[in-house]
Chains A and B, each alone.
Chain A
Amino acid sequence: MAKITQEQKDYQQLVKNVKPKPPYLKNIVMAFLVGGLICLIGQLILNFYISLGLDSTKEAPSATSATLVFLGAFLTGLGVYDKIGKRAGAGSIVPITGFANSIVAPAMEFKSEGYVFGVAAKMFVVAGPVLVYGIASSALIGLIYYVVKF
């Protein structure tokens, strides 16, 4: 990386002062409302599966995840999820429906490059890092747990 000069620093300071800021409060309120709503729907689905007799610690949460993933994927296919995301920001990115969106969006987008190099290869361009860091950190924590315990 090239060295940053004083002139560049001064200019970036000027830019920082004049450039319009995102509507912070509105964004946070929308993220809270939409994120909360998605979790509330998740709770409805969870209670529904528990009422069907699924085990409340493992089976019902798994079924809930799969259902929410389906909803996120379907709304992405219909072209609705990005419209929600435009207003909700993190409110629709952070829930598991957003994880589904991040998988379906590139899969659809790169269909024009074929089903192997396009759909399949690009499916995890956005969601891949979440799996990598999630799985790697869980394995690391598992290792620490194992060493401490045994």
Chain B
Amino acid sequence: MVSPAPATAVGAGTPSVSEMATILARILHRHGQGVLEDRRCTLGLLRDHAPNETRGIRLLMAAYDMDLPKKLTSESGAASEFRIEQEVSRLVADSGLQSDLARWAADVWSSAILGTTPDSAAPRAAVATAAAAASPASAAAKSMSVDDLTWGDDAPATPQATGAAPAAAPPIAPSYAPAPSAAAPANAANIATLAKKPTARYGLIAVAIVSTIFGLKSYIGTGGETPAPTQPTTQPVQPAPTQPAQPTQPANPSQPNLVVASASDDVSDWPEFSGAAHPNNNSNQWQFQFNLRFGDGRIMAYNVFVDMDGGGRSGTGSVRALDSRHLNGGSDMVSSTPSLPVTRELQSSSKIYFNRIVTSSWAKNPSRAPNVCVVFSSGNQQRFSPDNGIFCAFELQGNTCGQKIGCGRL
């Protein structure tokens, strides 16, 4: 959460979050949340209960028109701060609101609907602050995260040298909570449709990924023509001690905060997984992590590490996986692959690079991780960008990528 003090206003003409949330909560208490089904009534009530807060009401209604209250009311239990972060980013991207104003609106709605008081929202501020501290600019914080979030003793502390196949991925634990989603046009949605077809093979997957990337051009900022969307000034890039994201935290798959890659066709539904990075500031190396939910209900955390050659045309990589049920002290349950080939293809018309790693074999697999085909890209940059990437994981059927399991953003 960016706002340093959730109870504060975001500028002249806008009431504090707590003031407006109190008013909104009073309305909802009096009329029930069903009143939110009626836009006219909602607006009328806001005007009647806060006649002097024209600006604030407009902000709230902008969020209302983006279905924010509906999404919040559909939450089971309190929405995670990361979920709210997602909504803030969506508001920024889709409505053009400034991030602080979007955050104000999201905070008011969430406080009023979910009953969280601004005070109880304080941990969110801590999360955001910690997230900022965990950014690459903060080496100390990053180091702490790396040290604290190791999966187990079998994970090497540092990746191997460039060009060498890493025996295992670097010890950065997966992030189970989504960072804010950035602008994600929904017009590239049919990736899954393509991928789901029985005949879909690498070519189709490639097309699908490329289609997705086309749709995400503004998000990725490829080509230099479309500026990247406005991002919140602070993002929960990586969990930090104040909001422990150690594997122990999301151990229970039933926890609502355990975010998994989305099987949605709508790119805007794809969650963002934090923690993608260049290990050792080596731009040829890239690591990222995500969670996948499988058909049997299991949620597996995956950690991918790739190391491309100098030309960026190919490379090697490895994947580790852990059944989320074993996240708590389950270092013995970490599955890991041997060195695997990473292939890269350039989609000629779009100049989009997409990469693929397939867990065709496992060095050890105590978590019984299913084989997956992971296709990922960061747009038209020859070198990976740790941010603004996308990925999709598919079931491995034979030697080919089969049905989509889920996609996400990095």
Are A and B a genuine interacting pair, yes or no?
Answer: no
Contacts from B to A (Cβ < 8 Å): none
